[in-house]
Amino acid sequence: MSAFRRAGDDAGTTPFAPSAVAEAGAGDTLRAFRTAALLGWRVESNWTDPALFFIYTVARPIASLLLFVVMIQIVGGGANEEIRTFVILGSALWASLVAGIAGPAWSVLEDRERYRMLKYLYVSPASFLVLLVGRGLARLAAGAIGTVIALVFAIVVLGLRVDLGRVDVPLLLATLALGIPPIIAIGVLLGAVCLQTRQESWSYPDAFAGSMFLVTGVVFPLAVLPDPVEVVGILNPITWWVAGVRHAVLPDGPTSIGGAGSVWTAVTGSAVPDAATIVLALFVTGALTTLAATAVFRASERRARDLGLLDRTTGS
Amino acid sequence: MTGSRSAAVDPARPVSPGGTREASVFAGRRHDADPRVDADWTRRRVLATNLRALVGRAYPRIRGMAREPSWVLFEILLPFLTTSAFVLVYRALAAPEAYVGFVVLGGALSAFWLNVVWMMASQLYWEKSQGNLELYFAAPMNLMSVLLGMAIGGLVMSSTRAIAVLVVASLVYGVAFDVQQWLLLGVVFLLTMTALYGLGMMLASLFLLWSREAWNLANLMIEPIWFVSGLNFPVGRLGMLGALAIATIPFAVGLDAMRQLVFADQASLLGTPAPEVEALILVAMTAVFVALARWMMRTIERMARGRGSLSIRWQ
């Protein structure tokens, strides 16, 4: 029986009683999550007609992709085919990452500052964290559409060569699935930051994602970084997520983690991490990131309640 | 004695149950004057009021920087890391060092574009959502002074980020500038800012027409504009697309002109108009954007009043 029904059947209690929330079962959590994801998707998509939504969804990732492709083209002409493929894949994946990171953070800001609904969501029986994760997942889904279209564009227009017969499908699926929780967790972490800050925080997810370009091997191998920064990259689940997808799609392509002069090769002695290592590393770093993000979010939530930040609106 | 002063002791004023005369909410103003007569302000008074509105609108942006320290991390440190990522891409490709300078300058100027998109173009739409827009329209001032105040406040905010990224990245990556025409560089920078914020004022008016589209379209104006403007590479390399960008986007023409002036005699920057010509393009853009902003503000305000959409929120 759901906690809502239990609370409703129990004379003298209301469905909004804290005890009902405390006893919320998996079914209630799942229902709240589904509702939040659906709401998030509608917020993302129903502001315009499908054609404009499609253009909006793909324009940013394709422009981002072209920014790098032109950089490579100008400097190296057609000689850097391997690097070009490396950068195109990383850049296309970035669309999903930015969307996933921005989702929960923007949900906090939209619901608090624009729609003024955050306080009502907060006092609803559903867990606030579950609602944010649902909203974040909807945005991640929109970002994933951008990634797919950017890849199709790269294959059709930019001549990206992918041998579908050689794609490591199990590794691809495992990596994609294991990458979702840490991406959303980082978004929740930024949501925790946005709970404390004012409305200018709209640009924070983009700024944060941009800075991760540096340490996750998206557009260049980590080996070019100083060793301490490279270690930060190796501890980042996004690094393994991008490396895993690359390894699955281009098994013989260049790696972002190992290679000559890299910390990885110096420590492990292997030139390239194999598929099992990538999955394991993604799982471990992803789990640690998710736990840390949850703890930070809980602390931020407590502070926001203490200071009355949940219904604050700001301007500048 | 003026009407306002006499109002405080006006025997005709209602007396409260406690026996004291109620204070006028218009203390300091003539309470008995016809509002139309009262509104017949001198030119000096109109100017002073608009100036006050301008300062008042710029104030929260400038003062707010001291009240929200998190911006130092998110607006300066993280954008520096983003710029560093682009620098390292060029380093990984063994590109000529000049390209590192192009990236650093582009990274610094991108702060102004972001500010124009998020804090100018979207601002009136945002004010509408927050319920401030009707106050702006009801206040006895020209809305252009509010837009100008927003622009000046935003310019100050973005300048800190731009200067920080420029200085730190130049030192860290050893960018060598070669400026031969300082005066022209200063003029081009000012013209770029006036054209950029003029565009922002125009878009702010335009976005009043829209609902949630405004927000999403603002979001759409980042990477695509950066690409066609040559954020990290000389825009001339884009051929016709680059030429179109130079003719229409102030960020593209300003960035290219400044690159030519800051990295003088760079062969890779050839193929675009000379900085003097680009300065003239910026002058034309400023005039067109500001005039359009003024016209659109009036037209769209009239349309919005007719449609009753000035105070519609959350759509």
Distance from CA of B74 to the nearest CA of A (A): 6
Contact B222 A206 (CB under 8 A): yes
Residue with tokens 């305000």: B301
Check: CB of residue B111 under 8 Å from CB of residue B158. Answer: yes
B76 → chain A, closest CA residue: A207
> In the predicted model, what is the mean pLDDT of residues B152-169?
91
pLDDT (0 to 100) of residue B25? 46
Q: What is the pTM of this model?
A: 0.82
ipTM of the complex: 0.81
**C-alpha–C-alpha distance, residues B147 and B307, integer Å:** 23
**C-alpha–C-alpha distance, residues B17 and B23, integer Å:** 14
Which range of A72-86, A132-146, B23-37 scores highest in mean pLDDT? It is A132-146
> In the predicted model, what is the mean pLDDT of residues B138-166?
91
pLDDT band at A193 (very low <50, low <70, confident <90, very high): very high
For A:105-124, CB contacts with B below 8 A are: 113-115
Inform me whether the C-beta atom of residue A197 falls under 8 Å from chain B C-beta atoms: yes
Percentage of residues in chain B with pLDDT exceeding 70? 87
Instruction: Read off the tokens for B145.
Output: 């002074």
pLDDT (0 to 100) of residue A114? 81
pLDDT digits (tens, 9 = 90+) for A263-274: 999 999 998 899
Residue B73 neighbours by CB distance under 10 Å: 14
Between A13 and B59, where is the model more confident? B59
Check: CB of residue B182 under 8 Å from CB of residue B93. Answer: no
Residues of B in Cβ contact (< 8 Å) with A207: 74-75, 78-79, 82
Contact A202 B226 (CB under 8 A): no
> In the predicted model, what is the mean pLDDT of residues A195-215?
83
- DSSP-based three-state secondary structure for B230: coil
Q: For all residues of chain B together, what is the average pLDDT? A: 84
Inform me whether the C-beta atom of residue A54 falls under 8 Å from chain B C-beta atoms: no
Among A198, A211, A219, the strongest candidate for a mutation testing the B interface, having the largest count of B CBs within 10 A, is: A211
B238 → chain A, closest CA residue: A70
pLDDT digits (tens, 9 = 90+) for B70-128: 777 877 888 888 899 899 888 888 888 899 999 999 999 999 998 898 888 888 888 88
B114 → chain A, closest CA residue: A203
Residues of B in Cβ contact (< 8 Å) with A224: 88, 91-92
Instruction: Read off the tokens for A203.
Output: 């640009």
pLDDT (0 to 100) of residue A292? 97
pLDDT (0 to 100) of residue B16? 47
Has residue B161 got a pLDDT over 80?
yes
Among B82, B120, B124, B255, the strongest candidate for a mutation testing the A interface, having the largest count of A CBs within 10 A, is: B82
Has residue B23 got a pLDDT over 60?
no
pLDDT (0 to 100) of residue A9? 53
pLDDT band at B314 (very low <50, low <70, confident <90, very high): low
**C-alpha–C-alpha distance, residues A65 and A59, integer Å:** 10
- Non-local (6+) Cβ contacts of A178 within 8 A are A241, A244, A279, A282, A283, A286
Q: In terms of Cα–Cα distance, which of B59, B289, B235, B65 is closest to B159?
A: B65
Contact A207 B222 (CB under 8 A): no
